[in-house]
Amino acid sequence: MNQPKDQALVAVAACAAVVETASHKLSSLSASDGKISVNKLDAHQVLAYDLAHAAAGVYASQVMCEYATTGDFEAKLAFAFIADSVAELATKLVGRSTEWGSDVIALESAAEFVARYRSTEFLETLGDDLVKYGTGPNHLDDDFDLVAQTFRRFAEEVVRPHAEHVHRTNADVPEEIISGLAEIGGFGLSVPEEYDGFATGGESDYMGMVVSTEELSRGSLGIGGSLITRPEIMTRALVAGGTEAQKAKWLPRIASGELMAGIMATEPDFGSDVAGVKVTATPTDGGYLINGVKTWCTFAGRATILLVLARTNPDYSVGHRGLSVFLVEKPQSDGHHFKFCQPTGGKLEGRAIDTLGYRGMHSYEVAFDNFFVPAENLIGEEAGLGRGFYLQMAGFENGRLQTAARAVGLMQAAFEAGLEYAQDRKVFGKPVFDYQLSKVKLARMAYLIQAGRQSSYAVAKLMAQGQGTLEASMVKAYVCRAAEWVSREAMQLHGGMGYAEEFSVSRYFVDARVLSIFEGADETLCLRVIARRLAENALSES
């Protein structure tokens, strides 16, 4: 037996079996009339939530088994990650074996592997390797390596110099960044070539988006990586449901950066539960009148076109089938407040919501008062009525993958800051890095980052084949929670200076907190998407 690699496969298989057993258990507890009942599922939320994260850990471990075959250091990172994932799953089983249908004995075949690759001695040695190898090779091909270099250079030279000022003053995203990103094609990554973008309809579209997003987020989450998220969501919705005339009108202008996109789905009383959306779009001569309030509308001030999810069917009993999406044009606005009045009397007013981190983009609460939108701005026009939820999800599903890439970029920046400071700073006569605990912390950061990165690559390839929706949700949930730990520990390595705003690591810490909230709050994503899908899959196998 090729011990390390074969043992890794055995360990991952043991974890996968536990997850499968729990999925069937949750399915049996939640089934009603041959379908999964949300009400019954909600009666087992703790199991469902932990199962979702465990399944994400198994998926990432499977990806890392492949990464282990690419080199010796890569194998060390992979084995450490897999051992960590087994240990994390074991803690979920302790005291809850009846709920899971398995106990820790089910992971006994992985015991030797975990003991070796989770040992302090191994992780300390891995920590020493970080000085030379960092978080490990990405193994991108030449084309994507060039993409990474291009966006890394832009992030270093254009984004990062503005990041601290924008964060501390809660300023707007500098126009230099927007125009520069447009120049290198950042807004057209998902726009098809026939509409002046760079998308060819293959794997490169998704991989290019993931690679560029990570590098921009490494420079800054708020004014870097997130700048291309909203155009991405809007583009996907247009491509999925827009008429030919709509695509020809809007997509080239999105790709060029002429139009800046904002997304409006969330409302004060409805976040991830979009079926309850109250903002209405009522037919009128030549179009629709939009009324109601949207919240957490990121970049709504600077944006010149908004993707607005609104209720076109007043019958709430039809749920999300009563929703449609509109493209709403508006003037550009700087600062933290805007108000626009139409000649017909319609009004649109927004105020920025001050946030803990993730500054520069500004998230707004926006009120519509009889705001007129032409009928031609309903995505899909007549054929788009009632399809709003599906068209929005066409963008949001890819947005989850993009958010995972944003998390990886932020983690990479935090790791680099932590490693550098630990090597430079001396405590009790020797560098912080030379202490065992520092090395073990940094080692864990490195393998969490690489696992998130490689998982994002793997999901990008799946999505290019029309698959990967579940995997995108799992990677988003797993990586975004990991980002909180990585940024916290990078900050902790700085000691008291980590709490000082003069060090970027404090920004990474507060920025990381938003990752588990947007593009699907962690709990909703785990309970209503991941766990539900796992239970449905198990039910179909029964």
Give the pLDDT mean for 36-54.
Answer: 96
Q: For residue 335, what are the contacts with CB-CB under 8 A and spacing of at least 6?
A: 172, 301, 352
Q: Please identify which residue in the block is written with the tokens 């490689």.
A: 454
- Residue pair 355/276 in contact (Cβ under 8 Å)? The answer is no
Q: Which of 90, 112, 114 is nearest to 15 (CA)?
A: 90
Give the pLDDT mean for 97-120.
Answer: 96
**Region for 205 from its dihedrals, namely left if φ exceeds 0, alpha if ψ lies in -120 to 50, beta otherwise:** alpha
Task: For 192, list phi and psi in degrees, rounded to 5.
Answer: -55, 150
Read off the pLDDT band of 319 (50, 70, 90).
Answer: confident
Candidate ranges 296-310, 377-391, 408-422; pick with highest mean pLDDT: 408-422
What is the C-alpha to C-alpha distance for residues 171 and 360, in angstroms, rounded to an integer? Answer: 5
Give the pLDDT mean for 455-459.
Answer: 97
For 445-456, what is each residue's pLDDT tens digit?
999 999 999 999
pLDDT value at 270 more than 70: no
pLDDT over 70 percentage in the chain? 99
Please indicate whether residue 519 is annotated as part of the active site: yes
Q: Which of 242, 254, 258 is nearest to 190 (CA)?
A: 254
Give the pLDDT mean for 92-108.
Answer: 96
Give the pLDDT mean for 119-145.
Answer: 96
For 184-231, what is each residue's pLDDT tens digit?
999 999 899 999 999 888 778 899 999 999 999 999 999 998 888 889
| Least confident piece of the model among 129-143, 169-183, 387-401 | 387-401
Of 395 and 477, the structure prediction assigns the larger pLDDT to 477
What is the C-alpha to C-alpha distance for residues 460 and 475, in angstroms, rounded to an integer? Answer: 11
What is the C-alpha to C-alpha distance for residues 415 and 292, in angstroms, rounded to an integer? Answer: 43
- Residue pair 374/344 in contact (Cβ under 8 Å)? The answer is no
- Residue pair 519/476 in contact (Cβ under 8 Å)? The answer is yes
Q: For residue 106, what are the contacts with CB-CB under 8 A and spacing of at least 6?
A: 14, 17, 18, 21, 93
Give pLDDT, residue 166.
Answer: 93
Q: Which of 530, 537, 536, 539 is nearest to 47 (CA)?
A: 530
pLDDT value at 1 more than 50: no
- Residue pair 261/307 in contact (Cβ under 8 Å)? The answer is yes
Written as one letter, the residue type at 537 is N
pLDDT value at 272 more than 60: no
What is the C-alpha to C-alpha distance for residues 267 and 532, in angstroms, rounded to an integer? Answer: 24
Give the pLDDT mean for 412-424.
Answer: 97
Half-sphere exposure of 184 (CA within 13 A, CB side): 21
Spell 263-293 as b/e; 16+ CB within 10 A means b. Answer: bbbbbeebbbebeebebbbeeeeebbbbbbb
Read off the pLDDT band of 275 (50, 70, 90).
Answer: low
User: DSSP letters along 431-486, please?
Assistant: EGGGSHHHHHHHHHHHHHHHHHHHHHHHHHHHHHTT--HHHHHHHHHHHHHHHHHH
Collapsed DSSP state (helix, strand, coil) of residue 311? strand
State the Rg of the chain over Cα: 24
| Least confident piece of the model among 10-24, 174-188, 191-205 | 191-205
Q: Please identify which residue in the block is written with the tokens 């983690």.
A: 411
The DSSP call for residue 330 is: -
Q: Which of 74, 99, 489, 519 is catalytic?
A: 519
Extended beta strands in 299-381, E state: 305-311, 323-329, 337-341, 347-353, 363-374
Q: Please identify which residue in the block is written with the tokens 């749920």.
A: 319
Facing residues of 374 across strands? 287
Token reading at 126: 């891995």
What is the C-alpha to C-alpha distance for residues 90 and 86, in angstroms, rounded to an integer? Answer: 6
Read off the pLDDT band of 112 (50, 70, 90).
Answer: very high
Q: Please identify which residue in the block is written with the tokens 């060819």.
A: 200
What is the C-alpha to C-alpha distance for residues 411 and 488, in angstroms, rounded to an integer? Answer: 10
Q: Which of 75, 92, 89, 86 is nearest to 112 (CA)?
A: 86
Token reading at 111: 């015991």
Facing residues of 118 across strands? none
Q: Which of 121, 218, 73 is nearest to 439 (CA)?
A: 121
